A and B are shown apart, each in its own frame.
Chain A
Amino acid sequence: MSLGELPFLQQLTLVLAAVVLFTSFALLEQARLVAAIHAFAWQGLLVAMVTAIVAASGGYPHLFFSAALTLGLKVLLIPWMLHRLVHRLQLDRHREPLRRPALITMAALALVIFSYWLVLPLVQQELLFTRNIVAVSLAVVLIGLLMMVIRAQAVVQVLGFMSIENGLFLAAVSATGGMPLVVELGVAFDVLVAMVLFGVFFFQISESIDSLDVDRLNSLTERAEEES
């Protein structure tokens, strides 16, 4: 079955999932912190829309609740908290240009291809539709990981962490029609607490090294111990 023969709502979901992946790339390459936070909020909005459409088309009423939860948490609350933190830390105009952008884009592309390859075993089992979205969500997770590896700015690392959560949520919605409610609430609670703790850490780190460049947190290595 080709993509064109899918029902309209499923095609729409696929398009939205693809845009989620696109926002992942946008997030990866953003130099300005505020713009990166906006990109993250857009990604959350798209994930919430996918959830709502899956809820409508697949007949999973409890997914409407998940969509609302995502909207409240990932689109409004967390970006708002990050905005406030960035403002209080006076990083509104902070720019953090990417070193070697071409190489990183290539690496991210390779991760997308790798994700599609990894979900090939799902081929006998699942519909074409689900497999695509699982691949996209795995790619979002892996690009989030890549972002945390290459970016040394604490706020950007947190955005990477949160976009990994977005990818996981997308996978849960598309591959399984959402996790049971108690699990979803637990995960949302953990994400919220994590965000609060990240905020605390921003202040602790900037007090400690007078910047949020976590590459400077490097005293605890095996080699440093030998020298001391």
Chain B
Amino acid sequence: MSALSWILILPLAGALLLAIIRNLQWAGWLNVLISTATFIATLALAFTVVEEGVLLSGLFRVDDFNVYLLVLTAFVGMTTTIFSRPYMQHVCDSGRINHRGMRLYHSMFQTFMFTMLLALSTDNLGVLWVSVEGATLATVLLVSLYRTPEAIEAAWKYFILCGVGISLALFGTVLMYSAAQHVIADPAAGLSWSTLYGVASQLEPSIMSLAFVFLLVGYGTKIGLVPMHQWLPDAHSEGPTPMSAVLSGLLLNVALYAVVRLKMLVDGSLAATASPHLAGNLLMGFGLLSFIVAGLFLHRQRDIKRMFSYSSIEHMGLMTFAFGLGGPLATFGALLHMLVHSLTKSAIFITVGHATHIAGTQSIDHIRGLIRTQPAVGWGLLLGVAAIAGFPPFGVFTSEFLLLTATMQSQPWLTLVLLTGLAVAFAGLFRHLHPMVYGPVPEGQQPVSANMLPVAVHLGLVLWLGLSIPDFLARWLDRATELITGVHLL
């Protein structure tokens, strides 16, 4: 069997198996094992694609753009399961969830991974929609896992907002399909991205731009673009921490990936009309708005996980803006930013999970003196936030620098807005961070058994990417840039 089929079969089989295994010890290890195997399969797939070029087979298409996201998704999935095995055991021992809850967690985690990997590898826009909706369904019960009134409220909000949002995306998909039917003879191929991309210039521009508005609002809900972001801080703060790590690190990326793919189709269709940059301008507007609003909201947060979910909205806004800006430099920067943001943000959520166990609360006001209670967690949080705020020498600095340079080239005035936004977000993060890491240690605060290995690996990778991007990765991203913009950078 090919690597691609393993990537999809492993998590699906894992989901079914983990639903019936009663021994929680085994289930935890099996979860790690399946995710590791999936990661190895994505690596094998990546080698195939690098050597043989685009892989097209039936419903699937793997090229340089999505294969790098596949590897990233499987990698973060793997490190999250390594973290979540002892973490969820701790949650279970403390009585917050029962055995059934644990089984649900393990099974739904793998279902979620399956939907993510399917969404990334499929070539069919309809299957893409089905799997993104499937990701909502897989995670919604996890958000309400703790069964507190807040968790149930967050899950309901998540369900309704994302469900409605994504149904607008289906309307957009239907419109796109109807535009395709005037061009493509075989109706079954009308949702194939590869086929549509080949005939993009013949697709009716008026229908395509109408479709794109629906698609952007739909998938934009999942990216967490303001003003459709309301579900995101709630779902992140009330769900279990491993879930927050994969929601922020992976789900938002996949939704953004979908929007970028669709933008490529719309750009092709609108190229010859009076407004060729309509899709890009829409992305820039939504992205910039999310970036600014989320940066401001960072300042008034009381809940540590809520705060970092606003930070995710801010970064997704920045990436959306960069993809909207277009051009090879901005696109390269955005692709790199997707990578470093996922790694850093999932590392931060893992650290935050340990920090909340140490302090016994998620309230920022009551988390104090982490560095003295448990230096590993304190330093992890400090370095993670330094990385996400864009400090050199971490990789986020590199990608943000590239984005700023690209903005300076094409929209000089917006550089000021971006710099202000970055400064506001930086202040918002550090005013809360400083007392949490250094403040006086509350009485009786004890260290917990923390597994900081995933955090160290993630932050190490981000540091490496900041110091020097390895040649093969740079070429890889460059090929993806060429695929998206038609021009290569290096």
A interface, CB within 8 angstroms of B:
118, 121-122, 125-126, 134, 138, 141, 145, 148, 154, 157, 161, 164-165, 167-168, 171-172, 175-177, 179-180, 182-183, 186-187, 189-190, 193-194, 197-198, 200-201, 204-205, 208-209, 214, 217-220, 222, 225-226, 228
Contacts and interface: CB of A to CB of B under 8 A. Distances in A.
A197 B108 CA distance: 13
Given A197-B141, A209-B149, A182 B59 contact: yes
A187 B187 contact: no
A141 B150 CA distance: 29
Range, interface on chain B? 35 or more
Contacts of A141: 167-168, 171
A177 B154 contact: no
Given A165-B167, A201-B152, A193 B147 contact: no
A190 B160 contact: no
B152 to A, nearest CB: 5
B448 interface: no
A9 to B, nearest CB: 20
A168 B174 contact: yes
A197 B159 contact: yes
Contacts of B167: 141, 161, 164-165, 168
A219 B150 CA distance: 7
Contacts of A220: 150, 153-154, 157, 234, 237-238
Given A182-B126, A187-B170, A209-B149, A121 B164 contact: no
B207 A122 contact: yes
Given A186-B127, A187-B130, A197 B149 contact: no
Contacts of B171: 138, 141, 167-168, 171
Contacts of A189: 130
Given A168-B167, A225-B303, A125 B191 contact: no
Contact of A183 (B127, B137, B147, B152): B127
A157 B164 CA distance: 11
B177 A176 contact: yes
A217 B133 contact: no
Interface string B171-197: 100110110011000011011000000
Nearest to A198: B159
B178 A204 contact: no
A201 B182 contact: no
B156 A214 contact: yes
Contacts of A176: 174, 177-178, 181, 187, 190
The 9 closest A-B pairs by CB, nearest first: A183-B126, A186-B130, A121-B206, A217-B153, A175-B178, A208-B149, A176-B178, A172-B174, A190-B133
B163 A194 contact: yes
Contacts of A183: 124, 126-127, 129-130, 191
B458 to A, nearest CB: 29
Contacts of A126: 178
B63 interface: no
A168 B157 CA distance: 22
B152 A177 contact: no
Nearest to B137: A193
B79 interface: no
A201 B187 CA distance: 39
Looking at A138, A157, A164, A190, the one whose CB has the most chain B CB atoms below 10 A away is A190
Contacts of A217: 149, 152-153, 156-157
Contacts of B181: 176-177
A168 B153 contact: no
Contacts of B130: 183, 186-187, 189-190
Interface in B102-129: 124, 126-127, 129
A176 B177 CA distance: 7
B250 interface: no
Contacts of A165: 167
A118 B210 contact: yes
A168 B170 contact: yes
B140 interface: yes
A51 to B, nearest CB: 14
B204 A125 contact: yes
A187 to B, nearest CB: 6
A190 B297 contact: no
A157 B161 CA distance: 11
Contacts of A209: 149
Contacts of B434: none
Interface string B435-464: 000000000000000000000000000000
A219 B152 CA distance: 11
21 contacts: A172-B174, A180-B187, A180-B191, A182-B126, A182-B127, A186-B129, A186-B130, A187-B129, A190-B137, A194-B163, A204-B144, A204-B155, A205-B156, A208-B153, A217-B153, A217-B156, A219-B150, A220-B154, A225-B306, A226-B302, A228-B302
Contacts of B187: 176-177, 180
A197 B156 CA distance: 10
A161 B152 contact: no
B134 interface: yes
Given A118-B210, A134-B178, A175-B178, 4 more contacts: A183-B126, A197-B137, A217-B149, A220-B157
Nearest to B167: A164
Contact of A201 (B156, B164, B175): B156
